[in-house]
Structure 1
Amino acid sequence: MIKERTARLTEDFFNRHPGLEAARPEIVAACELLISAFRAGNKLLVCGNGGSCADSERIAGALMKSFTLRRHLPKTEVKRFTDAYGETGEMLAETLQGALPAIALSGSGTLCSALSNEAELTLIYAQQVLGYAKPGDVLLGICTSGNAQNVCFAMMTAKTLGAGGIALTGRDGGRLASLADCSIIVPGQEKYRIQEEHLAVCNLMGLYVESEMFEE
């Protein structure tokens, strides 16, 4: 049973985005998969290309710090900071915000150049998944067509390692949709329209997960 607050914001979202109503079961299932992973102490990895790469950074940022709620640290963590560092520790504990571990696989220029030099650039995300992913983690692959080779390779690697997979796609879902545990296929054919819907879905995922994981 989700919180009343979560139910309200979810209903408000679909009232404002009726075109996504058909994908509601998959969107909610993706949110619940993330919540289960975070509650078990696992993490989210996210990847995509171009505008989808920007979306991956956006959702990682929404999970790593406050999105709409003030995420106060638990009293036990506040005490650990204060016991260790006194007034400075208290300041840190009061300023830091509760974080949900999420990594956007977009910032490794060194790795990218190394793989490019070896003509294996399509493995840029799969290589990072191999290094980061553990059983119980989740990979969110974002791709408007669902056919980006590097994102599909990353999903294959995640599944091989025992991580869960969420695909956020458009059109017919492409190959990525068939690889993931949960596939959100938004309506539309034009890339920019699909990306508009992806942005909305990412916002809801951030709101939903935050609402369930944190108190006001």
Structure 2
Amino acid sequence: MSHYALIQLIRKYPELAECEADIAAAADTIAASYRAGGKLLLCGNGGSASDCDHIVGELMKGFMSKRPLPEKVRSAFSAQFPENGDYLSDHLQGALPAISLNGSSALASAYANDVAADMVYAQQVYGYGQPGDVLLGISTSGNSANVIRALQTAKVRKLTTVGLTGRSGGKMSDLCDIAIKVPWDITPDVQERHLPIYHTLCIMLEDYFFLQD
């Protein structure tokens, strides 16, 4: 996998140099899961939940490129739907499967009320997760209970666990196969570094799957 985007990230944010190896490992791990037919699950607490939605938006559609459909797929649409095949093909883009676990308000409210609020993500990891999938947990402190429960469930379900957190890593450190710990402590400072990191991950994955010669 090309690390050009990662090199550019470190040039812009030199303080993230200590995270470089972990960012590269996370990109390689997620790519390996996609190659094997897996998917990426994401969960985060508070503002980090919005980051999960943001990442899904970059992976499930074109981010830095338009990701046109392969000619074989376009032909299949045209054969099945002669009148609409071109329209469908022209308005679909290559996707990298990613699911943000904070997306279902009905499930979340029901589970929080009927069972346990800190288990909302864990339940979805149990239901959606398959061996070979990757769970990305985001918590600035590394101690968010809802993210921790999801990571614990992922370990039992044989998912690979990746964490995006702050300097200490908190409890996430022992639960993540790969922990990207930005060298900051205060929540806004940590979150401000998370965004360029996950943008870089998305660019690396997009380049790998859609821009290869």
The equivalent position to 2:209 in structure 1, one of 188, 208, 213, is: 213
Letter in 2 for 1:76: K
Matched, 1:43 2:39: yes
Paired amino acid for 1:214:
F
Among residues 181, 199, 204, which one is paired with 2:195 in the alignment? 199
Contact 1:169/1:177, CA 8 A, preserved across alignment: no
Offset at 1:113?
Answer: 1.8
Give how far 1:53 is off. 0.5
- C-alpha separation in 1, matches of 2:11 and 2:200: 12
Residue 136 of structure 2 aligns to a residue in which SS? strand
Shift of 1:161: 0.8
> C-alpha distance in 2, partners of 1:45/1:206?
14
- Residue in 1 that maps onto 2:128: 132
Unpaired segments ≥5 residues, structure 2? none
Other structure's SS at 1:146 match: coil
User: 1:162 Cα deviation (Å)?
Assistant: 1.1
SS of equivalent to 2:132: coil
Separation in structure 2 between the aligned mates of residue 114 and residue 205 of structure 1, nearest angstrom: 33
Does 1:66 find its partner at 2:57? no
Question: Is the counterpart of residue 150 in structure 1 residue 151 in structure 2?
Answer: no
Cα displacement string for residues 136-163 of structure 1 (whole angstroms, at most 9, x for unaligned residues)? 0000000001001110110111111111
- 2:7 is aligned to 11
How much does 1:119 deviate? 4.9
- Residue of 85, 103, 106 corresponding to 1:107: 103
Partner of 1:57: 53
* CA distance in 1 between partners of 2:14 and 2:199 (Å): 15
Percent identity over the alignment?
42
CA distance in 2, matches of 1:95, 1:144: 37
Name the structure 1 match of 2:93: 97
In structure 1, how many angstroms separate the alpha carbons of the residues matched to 2:191 and 2:6? 20
Matched, 1:25 2:24: no
TM-score by length of 1: 0.95
Matched, 1:190 2:194: no
| Structure 1 unaligned blocks of 5 or more | none
RMSD across aligned positions (CA): 1.2
State the 1:129 CA deviation.
0.7
Give 1:164 shift.
Answer: 0.7
User: Aligned AA for 1:117?
Assistant: N
Measure, in 2, the Cα distance between the counterparts of 1:74 and 1:155. 36
Given that 2:166 and 2:182 are in contact with CA atoms closer than 8 Å, whether structure 1 keeps it comes out as yes
TM-score, scaled to structure 2: 0.96
8 Å contact 1:141–1:155 — kept in the other structure? yes
Aligned residues: 212
Q: Tell me the amino acid that sits aligned with residue 15 of structure 1.
A: R
